[in-house]
Amino acid sequence: MVQGWKDFTEKIMELSGKWTAFTALGSFLLYALGYLTLRFHLTALGVGTDLTVLDERYLFAGANFLIYFVSAVPIVLLLLIVPAALGFLPYRLLPLRIRSKIQIAGSSFWQWITSPGTGRVVFTLAGIVFSVIVIQFFMRQCFLFSNLLLCDGLPDPAWLRTLLLDDKDGLRSLYFAGLLAASAVPLGISLILGKKEQPAGFSQFLQALLGLLTAIQFLMLPVNYGILIMDRVMPRVESMGEQKLSQGQTAWLVWEGKEGMTYLLRTIADNGEQKALVTLPRKDVKETRIIAYDPILRTLFAHQVKQKESTGRTE
């Protein structure tokens, strides 16, 4: 009994020592994720801030991304389970002789792609090509969006505009889940090949390249989250500090910094629309009165997109 309690105490002490290291590593990862999401989010909006390298808002932004990341996993599983179930049912209805042939063919194919040789190289190349396509044609597209608050209209492609203007977040959730699933594909290939005998020469180079592309894909996930998903709603304010709004003017609080408050001021007059980002010293803002929360991109650009689409249909 005494020996058992002593062993238990030693395990607790050993775990507590490791817990400190795990906590430090977890905090660093949250800061790094938060830095990527918040910085790219502000860059997409076109907002200059007084953020330092170390800021607690990075920690909260990283935690929000991690929660969104984890919540996307069930969506990915659902997208995988449904087609798998639809394919499994017809498979079970096949005669036993045909199912046996399918199993033998599948086993042979698996042996071919995982054993050293041509099959392994082809399998790795397939993962590399898939990863490059996902990065180039999907994950990098978010870089097209910058300085959005002052743009006259959202840039192409049209499908990415639709994601930004989706009012129910359903499309963005599916898109992020798709990016997560696409990132898991090269990761799965790397893990499968990593358990086998390590290759040499060209095959080893391909596996290293696949590992690099996999890391890039996962690094692009917080970037896409920051640009396409994070904080789509902004508070509309009654005034900008002591400055009252005139007729036809609307203002939103974009960023609350340590030294200044940044507002988006939109003025609609007979000669058109004008937008400006205004930063006031924090000491000059005695109070902030919020009167509503608006989906800022839909408020600024939805009517322009609809007008462009209706013009295209007319032509």
Digit-coded pLDDT (tens) for 171-197:
899 999 999 999 999 999 988 887 766
Burial class (CB in 10 A: 0-12, 13-18, 19+), 299: middle
pLDDT band for position 292 (50/70/90)?
Answer: very high
* Nearest residue to 58 (alpha-carbon basis) of 34, 41, 29: 34
At 264 the three-state DSSP class reads strand
At 220 the three-state DSSP class reads helix
pLDDT band for position 126 (50/70/90)?
Answer: very high
47 neighbors 151 (Cβ within 8 angstroms) = no
pLDDT band for position 92 (50/70/90)?
Answer: confident
Question: Domain residues of the chain, as ranges?
Answer: 23-229, 233-314
Considering the chain, what is the average pLDDT of its residues?
84
At 207 the three-state DSSP class reads helix
Q: 153: which residues sit within 8 A by CB, 6+ positions away?
A: 301, 304, 305, 308
Q: What is the pLDDT of residues 254-269, one digit of tens each?
A: 988 888 889 999 998 8
Q: Mean of the pLDDT values across residues 231-242?
A: 88
Using only C-alpha atoms, the chain has a radius of gyration, in whole angstroms, of 26
Burial class (CB in 10 A: 0-12, 13-18, 19+), 271: exposed
192 neighbors 114 (Cβ within 8 angstroms) = yes
Q: Identify the pLDDT of residue 18.
A: 67
Q: How large a percentage of the chain has pLDDT more than 90?
A: 33
251 neighbors 245 (Cβ within 8 angstroms) = yes
CA distance 1 to 4: 5
* Nearest residue to 156 (alpha-carbon basis) of 298, 308, 36: 308
